[in-house]
Amino acid sequence: MRVPKTVYDHIFENNLKTGLLILLFPAVLCTLIYGFTFLFFMSDPMMLKSAMAYLSRLVPIMFGCALGWMFFSWAFGDKMMLGFADAKDISYSLDPAHLRIRRTVENVALAAGLPTPRVYLVQDTSMNAFATGRSPKTASVAVTQGLVDRLEPLELEGVIAHEMAHIGNRDILLNMMIITGLGVFGFLADMIFRVRAGDSSKNEKGAGYVLIIVGLALLVFNWLIAPIIQFAIFRTREYAADATGALITRNPTALAAALQKIQTDARVEALDDTPKMAAVCIYNPRQKEVTAFGGLGETHPPVQERIRRLQNMAGQEVTFKGTIPDTVRLK
């Protein structure tokens, strides 16, 4: 008899899938660069050998630049993301309405065994939320005014638990680096084409071809391959966050009810000019737009499937009874 999967099984499987998907970024980029170079020079072994030698010097420099930008994203990415959303820090506000939001966040953080994150409010009547930061100790949770006003207390708690799950599962750093960091490859491609266009020297003809090939590989990676990998990562992380959030509150039906409401009005106007930010929200505000293409490129799983899974988890009563043991708290 087959044993049904538990919440913990879903979390482990999604973490494993995400790790494998992350490894695809450098692997696929190197495959594109060296593969394009091989195909272009395969008819001339001498030029191919020279091109590969040139790549052995160029690729480390290129990845060094990428790592430098990634470090910048690591240091300032959370502030950039909160700025994109025009979020206001209410962590120390004495407004009674703000105190109620902070109390909800504090209670969920306590249940998850995590430090209380900074709390931000986005002045928008729609319903959405996201979390960001480098670690649980530096994390922030942002919610829209509409989410606070239009959800029931237990539903709001479920949404906060979903975001706290992203913090506990260490998704926030991954999401932040993807949102603010991967654009470096498009920038590198642009720089390569500019350098090539301004170089009138004919002495390094083979090197010039290699630069063009690398630029094309970067463009293909940035506009085609990377988004596909990103979408796969985000989709697996949303399922994991739903499962972990349900475990924190022991009330998966509340999160399911919240998602049912959020899908009706999730657009955050401040994020219209930053489409990549949609990927880190609890519900993609552009979901209706992308579903017109049959689901291709969706950053989030279908909301009805997420709701179905949460409702199924509600039947696993033993998982959600009582307090959360220390052994399963998010550290």
Is position 106 annotated as part of the catalytic site? no
Helix 7-41 to helix 226-249 angle (10° resolution) is 170
The three-state DSSP-derived secondary structure of the chain is CCCCCCHHHHHHHHHHHHHHHHHHHHHHHHHHHHHHHHHHHCCCHHHHHHHHHHHHHHHHHHHHHHHHHHHHHHHHHHHHHHHHCCCEECCCCCCHHHHHHHHHHHHHHHHHCCCCCEEEEECCCCCCEEEECCCHHHCEEEEEHHHHHHCCHHHHHHHHHHHHHHHHCCHHHHHHHHHHHCCHHHHHHHHHHHHHHCCCCCCCHHHHHHHHHHHHHHHHHHHHHHHHHHHHHHHHHHHHHHHHHHHHHCCHHHHHHHHHHHCCCCCCHHHCCCHHHHHHCCCCCCHHHHHHHCCCCCCCCCHHHHHHHHHHHHCCHHHHCCCCCHHHCCC
Catalytic residue among 155, 157, 163, 238: 163
**What residues are annotated to the active site?**
163
